[in-house]
Chain A
Amino acid sequence: MSRRSTLPADIAAFVVGLLFAGGLVLGGMTQPAKVIAFLDVAGGAWDPSLAFVMGGAILVHAPVYAFVVRRRSQPVLQARFHVPQRRDITVPLLAGSGLFGIGWGLGGYCPGPALVSVPTLGLEALTFVGAMTVGMLLHHLIGRTPSSKPETQAPRASRADA
């Protein structure tokens, strides 16, 4: 549905990737032991730092979405918004999220920090990203991938649940 990526939009995507990496590293997400210490609420050495990462991100993104994005009918560099509009709670949503949490707790990496850690060439990061890539491809091959078209539209046009 979307138009070709223009050069400014491509540059924006790259810059956003850079900023995102900076935030993940600064926040402590690229330290698997710190992630596991965050998830280990009952372990006696709970490190709540990562709640501050999520909190800090939402503190910035939520007002931008509510007061800026929702008032626009189209983004600055592209033709339209691609914001998920689904509201149904489904078995794949719950099972997938549950499975993701198990992997997160086992490895201490979620997808972003794992990709950011690739240039360290550490065995853990490379193994994790390799396996994650295989998992995504497996899901694509085996999964029905329910028409894989998440319905998306302009935030303004939707009576979103916000």
Chain B
Amino acid sequence: MDHTNFTPFLSLGGGALIGLATSILLLANGRIAGISGIYGTALTGGSGPWRWRWLFIAGLVAGGAVLFGLAPAHFAVTTDRPLWVIALAGLAVGVGTRLGSGCTSGHGVCGISRLSRRSLIATATFLVTGGITVAVARMLGGGS
């Protein structure tokens, strides 16, 4: 275990803040705070309201801007993975989250909190394939 970088209390606090955010969105607006779903639907439009989705995304980005100004170390990228790998990763995440109806927030936090069987299985699946991917990348000598 990596004791130097282990941040249980900070991470627990960050998680609680995320739980507060998802709770407000559900209780106030009746919406699930699944980021891939909100962003994907905002992009592709279609029926239904789009304004709150873009405002939610704007809040995410504005929050990122403020926090990057205050604490840039929290955004450190030290994976030294080549950009084509990052691009491939983004593509997989884009297609995968839409195909699988959710990501870490929608399935991992909101779905599991509702004890949704689909979300429990989805979360187990992406944790396992994520773990395998990192292990394979390590063995092939790629970053981290």
* Chain B residues with CB under 8 A of A96: 95-101, 122
Given A5-B49, A89-B118, A101-B125, A33:B131 Cβ within 8 A? no
Q: Which residues does chain B contribute within 8 Å of A136, judged by CB atoms?
A: 36, 39-40, 43-44, 94-95, 97-98
A22-B17, A93-B121, A131-B87 known; A105+B2 contact, CB < 8 A: no
The answer to whether A106 and B118 touch across the interface, beta carbons within 8 angstroms, is no
A54 within 8 Å of B by Cβ? yes
**What bracket does the count of chain A residues touching chain B fall in?**
35 or more
Assess the A57–B134 pair: CB atoms within 8 A: no
Q: Report the interface size for chain B: residues with CB under 8 A from the other chain.
A: 116
- Establish whether residues B93 and A107, one from each chain, have CB atoms under 8 Å apart when the complex forms: yes
Q: How far is the CA of A4 from the CA of B137 in the complex (A)?
A: 46
**Residues on A with beta carbons closer than 8 Å to the beta carbon of B109:** 54, 57-58, 61
Contact residues of A between 49 and 94, Cβ < 8 Å to B? 49-50, 52-62, 64-65, 68-69, 72, 74-84, 86-89, 92-94
Q: Which residues of B contact A133 (CB under 8 A)?
A: 43, 94
Contact present for A135 and B95 (CB under 8 Å)? yes
Report whether B19 and A117 are in contact in the complex, using a CB–CB cutoff of 8 Å. no
Q: Could you tell me if A106 and B121 are in contact, using CB atoms closer than 8 angstroms?
A: no
Contact B131 A95 (CB under 8 A): no
Distance of A43 from chain B, by nearest CB (Å): 6
Contact with A along B51-65 (1 / 0, CB 8 A): 111011111111111
- The answer, among A20, A111, A116, for a CB contact under 8 Å with B36, is A111
B71-110, CB < 8 A from A: 71-72, 74-79, 81, 83, 85-105, 107-110
Cross-chain contact A106 with B92 (CB below 8 angstroms): yes
| Residues of A participating in the B interface, judged by any CB pair closer than 8 Å | 1-5, 8-34, 36-37, 39-43, 45-50, 52-62, 64-65, 68-69, 72, 74-84, 86-89, 92-112, 114-120, 122-125, 127-140, 143, 148, 150, 160-162
